Structure 1
Amino acid sequence: MQVHGKEKLRVHIRWMIRRDMGEVLQIEKGSFEFPWFEEDFVRCLRQRNCIGMVAEYGERVIGFMIYELHKTRLHVLNFAVAPEYRRLGVGEQMIDKLISKLSSQRRTRISLEVRETNLSAQLFFKDSGFRATAVLRDFYDDSTEDAYVMQYRYESEDDEGYADNWTQRLAG
């Protein structure tokens, strides 16, 4: 399978373990102007409802995601792919893994915030089926930047009419 003329990488997505932290921190620093520190990851992952997963290619961690489990949704706190592995389908496979955790009976949506200046992330999540649903003014502690709340809604085949109505309500 190809992605924009490049071969798509098949990755293994698994739970994050302590020894992944060095590679995760490298990806984090290479991805964000205001990166998380190791303490931020550790504090988050110690919470009962916080999950860390990594995308592994060969023996190397090339992407990660941190998300919280809530009663009716998953909330993505951090998501990144190593710069040299972007646009090869890695992020898409990580999103597919998250979507596979949704169901019409329990968690029906995925939510996240994206910086207003992070256009590539906005476009990636939009292409993955997420929609901007709100703007959070002056959201970040490290800048005066706004955040866009983006959501993905689970659709079973019986929910298609509902999903169309929901999309129309957002659009109009």
Structure 2
Amino acid sequence: MQVQGKEKLRVHIRWMIRRDMGEVLQIEKGSFEFPWFEEDFVRCLRQRNCIGMVAEHGERVVGFMIYELHKTRLHVLNFAVAPEYRRLGIGQQMIEKLVSKLSSQRRTRISLEVRETNLSAQLFFKQNGFLATAVLRDFYDDSTEDAYVMQYRIMNETEEYESSNRIHRLAG
């Protein structure tokens, strides 16, 4: 399979362990103008509802995601792919892993914030089924930048039925 002229790269997505931190920090620094520090990762991952996962190719960590488990949603706090491994389908596989954790009975959505200037992330998440749902003014501590709240949502059976009926009525 081709992804924008490059081969799609299969990765193994697993729990983040302490030994991964050096590679995760390297990806973080290569990805963001205002990167997290190791203390930020450690503080976050010590919380009971916070999960860290890495995408591994061979013996190398090529991407990571940090998210929180909430009653009805997953909230992505940090998500990055190493610059030299972008556009190879790794981020999409990471999103698929998150989506597989949703269910119509419990957690039905994934939410995250994206900087207003991070157009590539906005487009990436949009291509993967996320919709911008709100703007958070002056959201970040390190700048006066706004954030877009983006959400991915699965429908329960009632919503799917109502949606298909609405489409049927419009088509008929």
TM-score tier, shorter chain, comes to over 0.9
Cα separation, 1, equivalents of 2:22 and 2:164 = 43
SS in 1 for 2:150: strand
Cα separation, 2, equivalents of 1:54 and 1:91 = 11
Are positions 1:78 and 2:78 aligned together? Answer: yes
1:46: which partner in 2? 46
Q: What residue identity is the alignment partner of 1:6? A: K
1:134: which partner in 2? 134
TM-score, normalised to structure 1, is 0.92
Cα separation, 1, equivalents of 2:109 and 2:49 = 16
Runs of 4 or more consecutive aligned structure 1 residues displaced over 6 Å after TM superposition: none
1:169: which partner in 2? none
Q: What residue identity is the alignment partner of 2:91? A: G
1:147: which partner in 2? 147
Cα separation, 2, equivalents of 1:48 and 1:18 = 16
Equivalent residues of 1:155, 1:163 under 8 A apart: no
Indicate how the Cα distance of structure 1 residues 116 and 162 shifts in structure 2: closer, same or farther if over 3 A, else same: farther
Identity of aligned residues (%): 88
Equivalent residues of 1:31, 1:82 under 8 A apart: yes
Equivalent residues of 1:131, 1:152 under 8 A apart: yes
Cα separation, 1, equivalents of 2:55 and 2:81 = 8
SS in 1 for 2:71: coil
Q: What residue identity is the alignment partner of 1:114? A: V
1:27: which partner in 2? 27
Cα separation, 2, equivalents of 1:101 and 1:162 = 24
Residue 159 of structure 1 and its aligned partner are, at CA, apart by: 3.7
Residue 154 of structure 1 and its aligned partner are, at CA, apart by: 1.2
Cα separation, 2, equivalents of 1:101 and 1:27 = 24
Cα separation, 1, equivalents of 2:116 and 2:7 = 30
1:170: which partner in 2? none
Cα separation, 1, equivalents of 2:25 and 2:76 = 17
Cα separation, 1, equivalents of 2:139 and 2:87 = 28
Rg larger in 1 or in 2?
2
* Count, aligned residues: 165
Indicate how the Cα distance of structure 1 residues 106 and 163 shifts in structure 2: closer, same or farther if over 3 A, else same: farther
SS in 1 for 2:75: strand
2:67: which partner in 1? 67
Residue 148 of structure 1 and its aligned partner are, at CA, apart by: 0.1
SS in 2 for 1:20: helix
Structure 1, unpaired ranges of 5+ = 166-172
TM-score, normalised to structure 2, is 0.92
* CA RMSD, Structure 1 to Structure 2 (Å): 1.5
Q: Deviations over 1:32-83 (max 9, x none)?
A: 0000000000000000000000000000000000000000000000000000
